[in-house]
Structure 1
Amino acid sequence: MKRNAQRICFEGLPFFAQMHAEAIEALRGIATLYELEAGETFFRQGDPAHSVFTVQSGGLQLVEHTPDGKSVNLKLYGRGDFFGMLALSGEFPHPAGAVAAQDTEVIGFRAVDLRAMVLTFPSLGLLFIDMLVDHTHHAHQRIRHLATERVGQRVARALLHFHEKFHPAAPGPNGTRLMLTQQDLAEFAGSTVETVNRTLRVWEDRQMLRRSRMHIELLDVAAIRRCAEGQPPDGMARLFDGILQHDQA
């Protein structure tokens, strides 16, 4: 991991578009840029959280390791997303680790510096409150999807989530090419690798996607979106039911 303060670029990041020039310059003065290679660990579960981060380019996966040795892919952060927000309230241990999903640049701000800035720029505090509410809303959605949706829906929703975070930065010959493993999808969708493999095989036969080593290329995003909404293309509903029954066995 490299640190490089010279390549920080706030332009095009939605959070900073809502701020006055004076506040942006103040933030630039306390920012640090971290450069990560794909697969590199940014921080580990249990490390002290003392900074708030936003993704300048690339993306990171938030991964929690359970006591029984399993990994749970909690969230994916793409360009413009903030994470590490707990640090704003004090120094807590990170509840999960962060790993670069591809070559990634992350901008970091020490939480103590941000808290001091809120006194000078109160609107910054309101933006952070809005962001925390959005994070809570996303967490509630994840819980609802895991509790109520079929496996096929959850896998489709996971693919769309990765697509939305990295499109159009990950073009392939015929669609969006995601650097993504079936293990990643299984963790994110709350399923098993075997079930994800069966689901992807069905969709590949329908020319909705193409699999290769460490990559999945989305060829028909509209069809995948229909699957996420519980409306699979004609002839696939029974296949979804079969996958669901096998997964619950």
Structure 2
Amino acid sequence: MAARKLDPSLVRDFDIFRQMSDDDLDAALATASARRLPEGTVVFSQGAMAEEFFILLHGRLKVVQTTADGQQVVVRHVNPGEVYGIAMAVGRDDYPATATAVAESLTLAWPNREWNSLIARSPALSLSMLQTVGQRLQDAHTRIRELSTEAVERRVAHALLRLVRQAGKRTEEGILIDFPITRQDIAEMTGTTLHTVSRILTAWEGQGLVAGGRKKIVVCDAHRLFLLAEAAD
């Protein structure tokens, strides 16, 4: 996982950096390292001491939490431009989950001691951090409600629609979730089994709602999938 300095022009258009002066941007990048993350690279592991925070520039990450009984739960996916690994900003000394690159990715990393300095240079970063924490709380509440009250088919439909909103790319087939994702990932997002997710997606493929492949899901009929997600149990 090689580290290198980054050309400021490559990040200038990100919201987090757009309002920085050239001098502030240069100063911010001087304390950061740019890291290429081949698919499968673990950026940090659950329980490890949180010594750095990150901004994803390219690619996608999967954040997975392992419960006390050994169950793996996909907490979220990190998209380009998002801040992540901000354990110290929420009062933690360790990372609460494991972040892994699910596609070739590029990230910036700073040591935690640079947090206050970077926030001072970029009000947009402070806002992004607050939005990130708020979104995670909202997502957690939504997932708890879904797990508590919804049938598994609706949970799977909601999960696919969230992924479409986050990383949907229009193709001739439909809306491609634009990073590698497996049926096991969907199972871990929805609190169910691989067998159940496979059964549901196979049925939906037969109905023309989705199309699949190796680490690939295309939503062919988002409207019908939305109606399934919102249908009463």
- TM-score, structure 1 as length reference: 0.79
Question: Sequence identity of aligned pairs in percent?
Answer: 28
Shift of 1:4: 2.6
2:2 maps to 2
The residue matched to 1:93 in structure 2 has which SS? coil
Q: CA separation of 1:124/1:36 partners in 2, compared to 1, >3 Å: closer, same or farther?
A: closer
Structure 1 unaligned regions, length at least 5 = 232-240, 242-249
1:174 maps to 173
Q: How many residues align?
A: 229
* Matching of residue 63 in structure 1 with residue 64 in structure 2: yes
Structure 2 counterpart of 1:145, one-letter code: E
Single out whichever of 181-190 and 79-88 deviates more from structure 2.
79-88
Shift of 1:196: 0.8
2:225 maps to 224
1:157-213 deviation line (CA, Å, top 9, x unaligned): 221222333333xx6552344421111000001111111112111210111111222
Shift of 1:21: 2.3
Shift of 1:63: 0.8
Structure 2 counterpart of 1:5, one-letter code: K
Q: CA separation of 1:11/1:173 partners in 2, compared to 1, >3 Å: closer, same or farther?
A: farther
Structure 1 Cα separation of the partners of residues 103 and 7 of structure 2: 18
The 8 Å contact of residues 88 and 111 in structure 1, kept in 2 or not, is answered as: no
Structure 2 unaligned regions, length at least 5 = none
Q: CA separation of 1:217/1:83 partners in 2, compared to 1, >3 Å: closer, same or farther?
A: same
1:235 maps to none
The 8 Å contact of residues 186 and 197 in structure 2, kept in 1 or not, is answered as: yes
Q: CA separation of 1:198/1:43 partners in 2, compared to 1, >3 Å: closer, same or farther?
A: same
Structure 1 Cα separation of the partners of residues 125 and 30 of structure 2: 15
**Aligned counterparts, 1:1-249, within 5 A:** 1-6=1-6, 9-17=10-18, 19-21=19-21, 23-88=24-89, 92-118=93-119, 125=126, 127-168=128-169, 173-178=172-177, 179-230=180-231
The 8 Å contact of residues 44 and 98 in structure 2, kept in 1 or not, is answered as: yes
Structure 2 Cα separation of the partners of residues 128 and 92 of structure 1: 17
The residue matched to 2:137 in structure 1 has which SS? helix
The residue matched to 1:105 in structure 2 has which SS? strand
Q: CA separation of 1:77/1:159 partners in 2, compared to 1, >3 Å: closer, same or farther?
A: same
The 8 Å contact of residues 88 and 115 in structure 1, kept in 2 or not, is answered as: no
Structure 2 Cα separation of the partners of residues 224 and 206 of structure 1: 11
Single out whichever of 94-103 and 60-69 deviates more from structure 2.
60-69
The residue matched to 1:48 in structure 2 has which SS? coil
The 8 Å contact of residues 5 and 30 in structure 2, kept in 1 or not, is answered as: no
Shift of 1:116: 3.2
Shift of 1:11: 3.8
For the aligned residue pairs, the C-alpha RMSD in angstroms reads 2.6
Structure 1 Cα separation of the partners of residues 13 and 120 of structure 2: 26
Structure 2 counterpart of 1:162, one-letter code: L
Structure 1 Cα separation of the partners of residues 76 and 217 of structure 2: 18
The 8 Å contact of residues 79 and 165 in structure 1, kept in 2 or not, is answered as: no
